[in-house]
Every structure is written in structure tokens, then in C-alpha cells.
Chain A
Amino acid sequence: MAAGGLTLGAVLGWASVRYRVQEDPLVEKIDAILPQTQCGQCGFAGCKPYAEAIAKGEADINRCPPGGEDGIRRLADLLGVEAKSLGEGLEHKPKSVAVIDEDLCIGCTLCIQACPVDAIVGAAKQMHTIVADRCTGCELCLPPCPVECIHMEVIHEDITTWKWRYPVYSIRPVRE
């Protein structure tokens, strides 16, 4: 009996070493799901700090509006918890980019300092412009602008980004 137990224990111990799952750090995995807008709507200074907070269990998974329902679902899958709807006071908006009205811009550089992903180019007293490809739509450049020359424009889909819709076919009677 004792010998059997010892043998089994040895086998289990060996297996745990041999088949140890080499896991990426959880923070990296969570960060990979977050949309990297760095918008701070979750209440943290960026996506990485939010990911760290989730990993430590200090933050809920439903604090990221740009990630939307899909992002929450994937976080829930990753962490093995129940998916939930977006947190109180948060709202998922269609993906947008910031646009500077170049006639109004006074070249104050405040938006450049606010941009978390260096998507705005320009210099003091020079007109600024936003590199649309780099803009994550975080809206952090809107409040600092003293002349309110920045607005958000929703990105419309074109032929290259158009997606086939989920095939919906059965019309199900909805119970009142």
C-alpha cells in the first residue's frame, strides 16, 4: 500500500514537472485582449495598468468601453468568470478618429502632450494634424484644446473593411 502510494506520488510529481504548463504572465494575456486605446475610461492610466489591476483582482472586467461586449466576453473566457454587461456610466461608441479643424488650431501643443500614442504631429505655433492611422479614438486630446478645434469622426466601413454579417435567418416568436 505504502509502496504503491509512493510510486504514484513519484509519478505524479514527475508528471507535474514534465508537463508543466508554461503560461504567459496573465497581465500580458489580458493586455493582449484590451484594445490599446489608452483612453483611461476604465479609471486607470492606460490599458496596461488596467490589465495589471484585473490580474490582481482589483478591477472588474467590464470597465473597458472600447473593447465592448466582445472584449468583456473574451476577458471572461480568459479568466474563467461570468461575462457581464458594460459597467455603470460607460458606453460603447462606434470606432472613431479625432480630426483637427486646421483653420482653428492655434498650435498650442497641448493635444500633442495629451496624446498617449503620439498620433499628433506639429510644433509650437504650427498647425497640428492627427495621423488617422495611428489615432486610437481615445478622445484624450479633446479636453485640453483651448479653442475646441478637435472633434471625433466615426469611421465608416469601406469595401476593404466591410464584413459579412452573422447569418440571421430564423424569425423566432418573442414571448411577451
Chain B
Amino acid sequence: MRRLHSFNGGAHPAEHKAESTARPIAAAPLVPLYVVPLRQHIGTPALPLVRAGDRVLRGQAIGQAEGYVSASVHAPTSGRVVAVEMRPVAHPSGLADLCVVIEADGEDRAIDLQPLDWRGMEPSHLRNLIRDLGLVGLGGAVFPSFIKLNPGEAGRVETLILNGAECEPWITSDDLLMRERAREILKGAEIMQAMLHAGEVVIGIEDNKPEAIAAMQAAVREMGLGYEVAVVPTRYPSGGAKQLTYLLTGRETPSRGHAVEVGVQVFNVGTAYGLHHALAEGRPLISRVVTVTGHVASPQNFEVRLGTPIEDLIRAAGGELEGATGEIIGGPMMGFDLQDRAAPVTKAVNCVIVKDAQRFPPPPAPRACIRCGECARACPARLQPFELYWYARARDFGKTQLFSLFDCIECGCCSHVCPSHISLVDFFRYAKSEIWAREREKEAADAARRRHEFHVWRLEREKQEKAERLARKAVAQVKEAEAAPVDAEAARKKAILQAAIERAKQAREGVTPRNVDHLTPEQQHQVEEADARRARLHAGAEDQKETENQP
């Protein structure tokens, strides 16, 4: 048995997992219209590869990874592209983003999929393939997987962790995936292990998922793998990558660093599943498992094509019940309110919770902070949330950074336990985005200052140059006047020099294209005419310049 290392704080929110585990994963039905955002991952959005009117097949790339931190995007079904335009997406802001809108033709024809022999492949080539297959972390952070599959300078990682903790209440997509498709997850893990040269592979699962634990243990045994299924106590947020890493290895991921720096790499079980299918079948990431739960007729997990509008997905779960009050995307601890139900499922969407007034009542009016410290005792990052709150509320952003604002993982434990019902995390999100905005503004201002300084310097230089030119001209005139009394010697030298210049000039002009050596008089005439025209034009342009330069 592995010795577990307990992290600070955490919380025990009501689980509500049973609602959606009663039914198996179902394939969500095909819908007439898919809206596929080109930004479904952290980093630069994919570049659109299609235009309105193009026909696409299932699995065809419609967006190409752009820059390093990016991943490709693929058509979820066959059909016709009706638009590449801004559409509302699942984002806390409710703002629109660039999407490829595909009208399905109902045939669902796929491109020619080829299994990839990844074992013999050159690592960087394999990673590029994984990027082009659109693989990103499916736990919610959607970081492009190919970057994390690089063992880096060390050449290997010690521990590969498969994250099946799924600590957020209500969500069961990983749970069901592990119960039903354990072997495929492990095959994905084998690929990861080989790419990272991982010494050991540990699968972390919270102890409230006995079926998933049993299924994974059985699959590990059957496949003869030396992987360990580590059962961790149910305590939110044990599924956070940093928390799970600490739980299983006792190593703290450095502040603002990555797990790989302490020899650990963490992937969600869904990512491993997707990686297996991507390489074994050559199938790009065009679907994922999504939990639809809460106030719907039949809560269930669905394998959903990316781009499916969320309202269609809710319909697949029997539709919302009377008295629904909105939807949460993600879990109740870290998710966000959906602003527009037409927004599509993306790689980041692991759960849709339909709210009702009884289970998701409006938050009570906040009272004054009494510095009771409950939040600090609950904070897995060992922050002092009430201090941060104090400074964030006063917009003292320097102090918030000093109190390690950016080590906050926004898990929501502090707000969850606050007896005064203060929405602490809202303040932290506000402070973070404000600081980022100010950094952007500062960069823009600095760039503007540099360009303005250059502008001023350039004007100054031009003025100076003009002055110098004039001065030189004046001096030259004066000199000429002075030189008027003929100095025979100087005049002779000058004449020689002048003659040399003349000769050089003539020599330059004398070089004529070879094809004009033996011209007929007619041709000669044409050439002369053209030269004359050119000269006229040239003179004209000069004149124009003169007029323009006049103030």
C-alpha cells in the first residue's frame, strides 16, 4: 500500500453522484447543426481550414494548431460548413468566439482512418501527430497533451499519475468511463508511459467509486500491467493535479510550476482513453463523455460529439424538469453559469448540471468577515483567504500578489465554508483578471512609450539632418565663391578629376544591353522613343516631388 500524504484543508460537499451513475454511458444522438469552436484548449486558437460552403467528413481537420501551445480541431460529423463566425460559447462571460458551424448531412461519413504504429515512431513526430489529432487534457484544463507527453530534459518522469479522483460533486463521467472502458484507459496509459519513460504508473481514485476501483483493478490484472490503483479518501479537491500529486507522492508542485519539475506527470483518465483511440484507430478527438445531471428527467452520461449544442444534450437526457433555474457547466464547486444554451459542448465541458431552486438556492446575503479563519483551514493551497479578500476588496492588487493570489487554484473551498457567506473566490477571480488586464495595459503603454520616444527622436534626427544639409550647401557655396580666384594647380587637378568622373559616367552609360547591338533602324527608332518617354516621365515625377515637398 502506498503511503498517502494528506493536503491541508479541503471540504466535503454533498456528493450527488448517484443521480447519474444509474445508467450506462450512452451515445448522444446526432443533431442537425454542430457549432465547433476553434478555441477548445489553452493557448492559441486553431486556424480555420474550411470556409462556408465546404463539405467536411467526420474526423476531418477544420482547424489547424497554431503556434506551440495549441491543438487541432476536427469535424464531429459529415456535412456542409454553413459559416465560420462568432457564436456564443460555454464561457463564464457568455461572449462569442470563432466557431465552424456545420450542417450535418446525416450520413456521418468519416475520413479514411488509419491506425498509427506509434511504437516505432520518432518521439517528436509522434507528439506532432497527437497535436494534429486534437488531444488535450479532458479533466477540464484542456492543456494540449502533446506538450505534457514530452519527458523534457530529464528524459523520463518518475511517476505517471492517472487522475480518476473526480472529486467534484455531481460529475460522474470519469467514474463511468473507468467502470465501462477500463482497458482502453489503460492502453492509453501504456502509450503515455512509453512516451514519458515513466518509472511507475499510479491511478488515483477517490474511495466513493468502488465500482470504478474494482474495474480498474481487474483490468490492470488482466492486462498484466504493474500499475497501482491507489484509493484516496473522498475529500474535495483531491482531484486537483497538485493535490493528487501530493497525496500520492508527497511532492509539492512548485508554485507557478509544473508537476513534471518534481518528476511527476498527471493525466486525466479521459485523456488516456482519448489517446488510445487517437493512435489505435487514427481517430481524432471529436467526442467526449459528458455528465448531464441535476433537474433533468433522466440524468445520464453521454458520449457527445464536440460541437453539440448544450440544449440538444439536455434534451437527450429527457429534457429539464419543471422549475429549472439555469445550467452549470462543470461541477458546482468550480463550474460556471451557462449564459446561452445554444453554446456547444467543447473539450472542456465534462458536466452539465440543470439547476433548480431547491438544490441550488440563491446565495444568502453576505455578512461581515469576522476573520474566523475557517477559509484558511479549508484552503488546500495553504493561503490566508480572508487576508486576500481584504486586499482584493480594497483593490490593493500589489498586496494580493504578495499574499500569493496566484497560488489560488479557485477550488472554492473557502467560499464553501465561509460562515458569513462571502463569495471569496469571486474576489480572487476578479483580482486575477484585473491584474492580467493591467499587465496587458502596462505592456501596451510601454510599447507606446518606446514608439513615441522613437518618433520624437526620428523627428529630431530629420530636423538635424536637414539643417546639416542646408549648412553644408551654404558652406559649399561660400567655398566655391572663395575658390573663384584661379589656382592653376588646383584647377588642373580638378579638371583631371572631373574628366575621370566624366569617363566613368560615360563608361557606365556606355554599357548597353547586348541585344541592341545589331538593330534595324526601325527598332532603333522604337528604342529611342521609349527612352524619351521614360525621361519625360522621370522628369514629371521629379516635378511632382518638388511640389509635394513644399509645405
Interface set of A (CB-CB < 8 Å, partner B): 31, 34-38, 46-48, 115-119, 124, 134, 136, 157-159, 161-167, 169-170
CB-CB < 8 A to B433: which residues of A?
A: 162-164
A168 → chain B closest CB, angstroms: 10
B88 → chain A closest CB, angstroms: 11
Q: Is B452 an interface residue (CB 8 A)?
A: yes
Interface pair A163/B454, CB less than 8 Å apart: no
How many Å lie between the Cα of A164 and that of B440 in the bound state? 15
- Contact partner of A164 (CB less than 8 A), chosen from B89, B429, B449, B458, is B429
How many Å lie between the Cα of A118 and that of B454 in the bound state? 9
Interface pair B93/A159, CB less than 8 Å apart: yes
Interface pair B93/A162, CB less than 8 Å apart: yes
Interface pair B91/A117, CB less than 8 Å apart: no
Interface pair B448/A124, CB less than 8 Å apart: no
Interface pair A118/B430, CB less than 8 Å apart: no
- Look across to chain B and name the residue whose beta carbon is closest to the beta carbon of A169: B366
Interface pair B430/A136, CB less than 8 Å apart: no
CB-CB < 8 A to A167: which residues of B?
A: 423, 426-427, 430
- Look across to chain A and name the residue whose beta carbon is closest to the beta carbon of B438: A70
- Look across to chain B and name the residue whose beta carbon is closest to the beta carbon of A38: B452
B interface secondary structure, majority: helix
Q: Which of B398-454 touch A at CB < 8 Å?
A: 423, 426-427, 429-430, 432-434, 436-437, 440-441, 444-449, 451-452, 454
Interface pair A36/B449, CB less than 8 Å apart: yes
How many Å lie between the Cα of A31 and that of B366 in the bound state? 40
- Look across to chain A and name the residue whose beta carbon is closest to the beta carbon of B432: A164
A interface secondary structure, majority: loop
Interface pair A31/B448, CB less than 8 Å apart: no
Q: Is B127 an interface residue (CB 8 A)?
A: no
Interface pair B455/A118, CB less than 8 Å apart: yes
With A162-B95, A170-B365 known as contacts, the answer to whether A36 contacts B89 (CB < 8 A) is: no
Most interface-central of B429, B455, B548 (chain A CB within 10 A):
B455
- Look across to chain A and name the residue whose beta carbon is closest to the beta carbon of B434: A163
CB-CB < 8 A to B254: which residues of A?
A: none
CB-CB < 8 A to B449: which residues of A?
A: 31, 36, 47-48
Interface pair B451/A134, CB less than 8 Å apart: yes
A37 → chain B closest CB, angstroms: 7
A33 → chain B closest CB, angstroms: 9
With A35-B445, A163-B434 known as contacts, the answer to whether A116 contacts B452 (CB < 8 A) is: yes
With A164-B429, A166-B430 known as contacts, the answer to whether A36 contacts B437 (CB < 8 A) is: no
Q: Which of B451-497 touch A at CB < 8 Å?
A: 451-452, 454-456, 458
CB-CB < 8 A to A170: which residues of B?
A: 365-366
A76 → chain B closest CB, angstroms: 14
Interface pair B548/A36, CB less than 8 Å apart: no
Q: Is B540 an interface residue (CB 8 A)?
A: no
With A158-B95, A163-B437 known as contacts, the answer to whether A116 contacts B445 (CB < 8 A) is: no
B542 → chain A closest CB, angstroms: 14
- Contact partner of B447 (CB less than 8 A), chosen from A37, A134, A161, is A134
CB-CB < 8 A to B97: which residues of A?
A: 158-159
With A35-B441, A36-B445, A159-B93 known as contacts, the answer to whether A119 contacts B430 (CB < 8 A) is: no
Instruction: Give 21 CB contacts A-B under 8 Å.
Output: A34-B445, A36-B449, A37-B448, A38-B452, A46-B456, A48-B449, A118-B451, A118-B454, A119-B451, A134-B451, A157-B93, A157-B95, A158-B95, A158-B97, A159-B39, A159-B93, A161-B437, A162-B91, A162-B433, A166-B395, A170-B366
CB-CB < 8 A to B250: which residues of A?
A: none
How many Å lie between the Cα of A37 and that of B448 in the bound state? 7
CB-CB < 8 A to A115: which residues of B?
A: 455
How many Å lie between the Cα of A159 and that of B448 in the bound state? 24
- Look across to chain A and name the residue whose beta carbon is closest to the beta carbon of B95: A159
Q: Is B199 an interface residue (CB 8 A)?
A: no
With A31-B449, A169-B423, A170-B366 known as contacts, the answer to whether A161 contacts B440 (CB < 8 A) is: yes
Interface pair B448/A136, CB less than 8 Å apart: yes
- Look across to chain A and name the residue whose beta carbon is closest to the beta carbon of B441: A35
CB-CB < 8 A to B441: which residues of A?
A: 35
Interface pair B446/A36, CB less than 8 Å apart: yes
- Look across to chain A and name the residue whose beta carbon is closest to the beta carbon of B447: A134
With A158-B95, A165-B430 known as contacts, the answer to whether A117 contacts B452 (CB < 8 A) is: yes
How many Å lie between the Cα of A164 and that of B92 in the bound state? 9
How many Å lie between the Cα of A117 and that of B447 in the bound state? 9
How many Å lie between the Cα of A31 and that of B455 in the bound state? 17
Interface pair A124/B451, CB less than 8 Å apart: no
A77 → chain B closest CB, angstroms: 10
19 new A-B pairs (CB below 8 Å) besides A134-B447, A162-B91? A31-B449, A36-B445, A36-B446, A36-B448, A36-B449, A36-B452, A37-B448, A38-B448, A48-B449, A117-B451, A117-B452, A159-B91, A162-B95, A163-B430, A163-B434, A164-B434, A169-B363, A169-B423, A170-B365
- Look across to chain B and name the residue whose beta carbon is closest to the beta carbon of A109: B548
CB-CB < 8 A to A169: which residues of B?
A: 363, 365-366, 423
With A162-B95, A164-B426, A167-B426 known as contacts, the answer to whether A46 contacts B447 (CB < 8 A) is: no
A140 → chain B closest CB, angstroms: 11
Interface pair A164/B452, CB less than 8 Å apart: no
How many Å lie between the Cα of A159 and that of B88 in the bound state? 10
Ranked nearest first, the 10 interchain pairs of A and B with the lowest CB-CB distance are A36-B448, A167-B426, A36-B445, A163-B433, A162-B93, A117-B451, A164-B429, A164-B430, A36-B449, A164-B433
How many Å lie between the Cα of A31 and that of B89 in the bound state? 39
How many Å lie between the Cα of A75 and that of B388 in the bound state? 24
How many Å lie between the Cα of A48 and that of B451 in the bound state? 13
How many Å lie between the Cα of A35 and that of B458 in the bound state? 22
A98 → chain B closest CB, angstroms: 14
Most interface-central of A48, A157, A166, A167 (chain B CB within 10 A):
A167
How many Å lie between the Cα of A31 and that of B426 in the bound state? 32
How many Å lie between the Cα of A46 and that of B366 in the bound state? 46
Interface pair A46/B452, CB less than 8 Å apart: yes
How many Å lie between the Cα of A116 and that of B437 in the bound state? 24
CB-CB < 8 A to B365: which residues of A?
A: 169-170
With A167-B427, A167-B430 known as contacts, the answer to whether A117 contacts B448 (CB < 8 A) is: yes
- Contact partner of B548 (CB less than 8 A), chosen from A38, A124, A157, A161, is A124
A158 → chain B closest CB, angstroms: 6
CB-CB < 8 A to A134: which residues of B?
A: 447-448, 451
How many Å lie between the Cα of A169 and that of B433 in the bound state? 19
CB-CB < 8 A to A38: which residues of B?
A: 448, 452
Most interface-central of B89, B91, B441, B452 (chain A CB within 10 A):
B452
CB-CB < 8 A to B458: which residues of A?
A: 118
